[in-house]
Amino acid sequence: MADWYPADLTHMEPSMEVTPVDLTSQRPGPSVQDVLATDVNPAPAVMRSESPAANQADTDLAIERYFSKDWHNREVVNVWRKCWQMACRVEEIPNVGDHVVYDIVHDSLIVVRTGPDEIRAYINSCLHRGTMLRTSGGCVQRLRCPFHGWTWKLDGTLLHIPQQWDLPHVDPATTSLPEAKVGTWGGYVFVNFDLECEPLASYLENLPEHFASFDLENRYKAAHVAKIMPCNWKLAMEAFVEAYHVAVAHPQVLAYYGDSNTQYDVWPGVRHVSRMISVQGVPSPSMRGIPAERTVEEMRRDVPFFAGEPIEVAEGETARAKLALRARQKISRSTQLDMSSLSDTESLDLIEYMLFPNMVPWGGQALPITYRFRPNGDDPESSIMEIMFLFSKSPDGSHPAPATMTMLGPDERWADAPELGSAAMVADQDTDNLMRIQRGLRTSRKPGVTLARYQESRIRHFHSTLDAYMGLGERSTEGAGQ
């Protein structure tokens, strides 16, 4: 296709020199840091700095990585069988024998609590003739294959082979279930198929430090909704890690959402983590000068969290301060904790991190969201997107039963899951676009996608890390000219 696409517009050739640019000076104000500096309750220290990406290439990304089966197959080997990935929440498996099944492309794991302080992950395949041992979660005290009844203890050692006289060549001592690595952080259970992988603690890089005040450990999964998305898993994720599209795709939020002044952070030497912060309760720079009442009313219109008593903004007050105050009152009531000192940013803002390859946990208390994006089985052109809400546990640590996953049907929209509240409308707008993006890339005669230098720097960072796992150079031109 590059045969006829004008070569000078493809941007596929990496220039040898990457000119360092700092475009943050051209970003419209006020900056996130300007807003945080005037907040009533100050932001945590990790929020008071910024780290715009430096020395990123400006080359296009080859579009094959969004639909090629060959690329997908290599992702299985180099990403899904090499990287730590979130499998479930700890509170989903509180008792010994509780388990979930975690599926990723061809692979399946039984993630099971094997002791009060021990969780293991077993390859979900019988060592007789390969039958999946479990197809869904639950609680069992042994793992028994439904075909001929071979049975393992929870510690993975073989318990029983029916009619063992006929299998004298099978040594029970070497017939334990193979395992994957397991680690936990922030109340999440992570798994890794690579037994030689780097420890989870180092893989997480600066994430634990940044989440220290967000306390995900003391939350529980209050909602969990999934949908098959009509696009590659990376396309789905990329639509949720930049705010460049907000003005056009979600114009309803502009009276209360800082889109074009969003802060994007990619830290030097950090491979797996990036961040964006969008302030709320202030208008988009494109709506500068609108009355504070409009900011308050439109935020209340879209976010039921702010419903109830009217919010008056008096002379000398700001919409942001009044909305943050209301948010703190609501969060205090729902958590039964005194949250009056919670920072304005944790009360209101979109504080979103990404953990390579496919987890997008949000910080703060305002939007207690985690996204996860996975290929839909072996299909590179569809994916499973999940939205989870993590609410705080009661002060005594108790909490309602964690939500089980609701899978939306092909004709259902995110808005058909009322538990998602105002997040659903935004996700539906993105889903409509994602179908167009996948189809549009298939018909494109341009061999690469073009990325903005600053606002799409997290996508660039993600692909740079992806390239490294795929064994490619930092700036791959794979697919160019094909």
Q: Is 98 in the site for Fe ion (CB under 5 A)?
A: no
| Distance in Å, CB of 245 to Fe ion, minimum | 6
Pick the closer one to Fe ion by CB: 150 or 240.
Answer: 240
Q: How far is the CB of 175 from ligand FES (least distance, A)?
A: 11
> Least distance from C-beta 439 to Fe ion, angstroms?
18
- Select from 24-32, 202-210, 319-327, 423-431 the region that touches Fe ion (CB under 5 A): 423-431
- How many other C-beta atoms are found inside a 10 Å radius of the C-beta of residue 456? 20
Instruction: Compute the least distance from the CB of residue 30 to Fe ion, in Å.
Output: 22
Q: Contact region for Fe ion (CB under 5 A) — 32-40, 58-66, 179-187, 430-438?
A: 430-438
Q: Does 148 bind ligand FES (CB under 6 A)?
A: yes
56 vs 264: CA distance, rounded Å: 13
User: Which partner from the list Fe ion, ligand FES, none does 150 bind, CB cut-off 5 to 8 Å by kind?
Assistant: ligand FES
Distance of alpha carbon 305 from alpha carbon 291, whole angstroms:
21
Residue 145 binds ligand FES (CB under 6 A): yes
Size of the site for ligand FES (CB under 6 A): 9
Q: Is 60 in the site for Fe ion (CB under 5 A)?
A: no
Phi-psi region of 481 (alpha: psi -120 to 50; beta: other; left: phi over 0): left
Residue written as tokens 């609410």?
391
Nearer to Fe ion, 125 or 431 (CB): 431
- Distinct helix (H) and strand (E) counts, the chain: 11, 20
**Closer of 91 and 179 to ligand FES (Cβ):** 179
Scanning 66-74, 147-155, 178-186, 426-434 for contacts with Fe ion by CB under 5 A, the matching segment is 426-434
Annotate 241-279 with DSSP letters as a single string. Answer: S-STTHHHH-GGGTTTB--TT-EEE--TT--SEEEEEE-
Q: How many angstroms separate the CA atoms of 88 and 188, rounded?
A: 6
Q: Out of 1, 147, 172, 401, point to the residue binding ligand FES (CB under 6 A).
A: 147
- Ramachandran angles phi, psi of 288, nearest 5°: -50, 135
Closest CA to 34 of 262, 211, 210: 262
Is residue 456 within the footprint of Fe ion (CB under 5 A)? no
308: alpha, beta or left? (left if phi > 0; alpha if psi -120 to 50)? left
Instruction: Decide: is 323 part of the binding site for ligand FES (CB under 6 A).
Output: no
Residue 302 interacts with Fe ion (CB under 5 A): yes or no = no
What's the closest the beta carbon of residue 133 comes to ligand FES, in angstroms? Answer: 8
Residue range at the interface with ligand FES (CB under 6 A); choices 19-27, 145-153, 248-256, 468-476: 145-153
CA atoms of 328 and 342, how far apart (whole Å): 7
CA distance 233 to 2: 25
In contact, 216 and 186? CB cutoff 8 Å: yes
Q: What are phi and psi of 424, to 5 degrees?
A: -70, -45
- What's the min distance (Å) between Cβ of 129 and ligand FES? 4
Structure tokens at 364: 């703060």
74 binds, among Fe ion, ligand FES, none (CB under 5 to 8 A by kind): none
181 touches which of ligand FES, Fe ion, none (CB within 5 to 8 A by kind)? Answer: none
x/- map, 116-135, ligand FES, by CB under 6 A: ----------x-xx-x----
Q: Does 430 bind Fe ion (CB under 5 A)?
A: yes
Distance separating alpha carbons of residues 179 and 129, to the nearest angstrom: 18
What residue is closest to Fe ion based on CB?
430
Half-sphere exposure of 467 (CA within 13 A, CB side): 17
Residue number with CB closer to ligand FES (46 or 170): 170
- Partner that binds at residue 430, options Fe ion, ligand FES, none, CB closer than 5 to 8 Å by kind: Fe ion
Q: In angstroms, what CA-CA distances link 38 with 30, 291, 318?
A: 11, 19, 11
Nearest to 385 by CA among 418, 351, 420, 338: 420
In the complex, which residues of this chain contact ligand FES (CB under 6 A)?
126, 128-129, 131, 145, 147-150
In the complex, which residues of this chain contact Fe ion (CB under 5 A)?
430
